Structure 1
């Protein structure tokens, strides 16, 4: 029997960087959301763990024992091995939490097969700050390094979304290093839509300094009928939210014609 899971693309509808911590990480306040598409994982029980990667972006991830899928498997106690085939559809180093989303999908696969240990959230956090929220892949507020999760009034389910990446990888570390250390205030309060509209991404400016094409992507997305355009995470992927699927699809068709070299993904918020 083969079980399948989607590793849903993570986007930050807002990302407020408050300060650099003594441990080297940054104190964040963010609104996580997830698109109903992403990488695909297929799993079968086996004598030992095994990870195979296929797909457009398979070449961009670490080797079979260093990638987050293998690490997630190692983090969870089980009575038998699991063989996983990862179809890598999301670009790497793109602000979409691709590796974290893959790890979250592994947690869901193990949960379906054997259940999760009571301390699964702590195990997920050790793999990366985005992994705990990716396990459930629901719209939540993240605080601390992003691992302290809070529910909220999510009135954005089903919102049409378009993701665009200029196919330039952008590592998280240099973007945070380029942040100007200025605290521009906390995350707004309210519904998911209110927070998204009134929030910001504090990493947008430093990311543009390292990858100028981000400004170009945002400029292109602003040409159509989106009610919000913003960079996700540490970039370089940007997103646009629309009231109707028709507006999103028109924007997608235009971009595919005018910017055929860019990566795009159309979907809805979960």
Structure 2
């Protein structure tokens, strides 16, 4: 059997960091959302598991045998193997959950081929805090380290979104370490649209301090008249939301003209 799955780009519409824990992790509240584009995984039955990485950002993966695709396959019991080709379209260390999205796509592939074990959520969480949300890749609220999920409404589904990255990798750990430890409050109440517009990303400041080009990306996006522009996750990718796909196309063209070296992706929120 041959299967193809998109590893949908993850964005944090809002990300409120509440507390630094004794185990080194952080308690947070976030609105996960997913763009209808991302990496692409092609899978076929095989005698043993294998992973081949292609695409623009294949070079960002240090060891294809130990990336999250291979590790996700190793977490899921089944008879026989799966041969996966990963087309890496999303930049690495970019705040888009690229590796987590890839792992989530593997879970969907294995679910189709062989079914998932009852404890799949725990197996996903062991791979990374974003992976459980990426398995279904639907808008949801994440709490704790991001693994405690609750469903959310679709009030922003179908929204035009532009992703922009200055092609500067930014690791998650240093950004969280640079957070000032101040609890600025919980996610606002209301639907996802209200939570997004009234929310914030508490990692924006520390990320900009470590990677100043993020400020330029945000300024450029805000200059294209979106109804919201914000950094995703721990950066360096930022996103802008538009009222129409015509406005998105115009913004993307403007960004490409003004900043031809930046990476961008146009899409729609799922």
Same fold (TM over 0.5): yes
Match of 1:201 in 2: 201
Partner of 1:34: 34
Partner of residue 180, structure 2? 180
Listed one character per residue, the Cα deviations across residues 45-93 of structure 1 (whole Å, up to 9, x for unaligned) are 0000000000000010131221000000000001110000000000000
CA contact (8 A) 2:10 2:34 kept: yes
Kept after mapping to 2: 8 A contact 1:153/1:190: no
Q: Whole-Å Cα distance in 1 between the matches of residues 32 and 45 of structure 2? A: 32
Which residue does 2:229 correspond to in 1?
Answer: 229
SS in 1 for 2:65: coil
Equivalent-residue separation in structure 1 for 2:241 and 2:64 (angstroms): 35
Number of positions where the alignment pairs a residue of Structure 1 with one of Structure 2: 270
User: Match of 2:213?
Assistant: 213
Aligned positions of 1:86-125 closer than 5 A? 86-125=86-125
Distance 2:230 2:22 in 1: 29
Indicate the SS of the match to 1:71. Answer: helix
CA distance in 2, matches of 1:172, 1:235: 8
1:153 and 1:71 map into 2 onto residues whose CA distance is: 31
Asked if structure 1 preserves the Cα contact closer than 8 Å seen for 2:204 and 2:234, the reply is: yes
Name the Cα RMSD after superposition.
Answer: 0.6
Secondary structure of 1:65's match?
helix
Q: TM-score, normalised by structure 2?
A: 0.99
**Alpha-carbon distance in structure 2 between the residues aligned to 1:122 and 1:240:** 32
Does the CA contact (< 8 Å) of 2:139 and 2:153 recur in 1?
no
Structure 1: segments with no counterpart, 5+ residues: none
SS in 1 for 2:72: helix
Query: Aligned residue for 2:58?
Result: 58
d(CA) in 2 for partners of 1:24 and 1:204?
A: 20
8 Å Cα contact 1:20-1:181 kept in structure 2: yes
Instruction: Report how far residue 172 of structure 1 moved.
Output: 0.2
CA distance in 2, matches of 1:28, 1:58: 31
Whether 2:190 is the aligned partner of 1:190: answer yes
Which ranges of structure 2 fall in alignment gaps of 5 or more residues?
none
1:225 deviates by: 2.0
In structure 1, the partner of 2:170 is 170
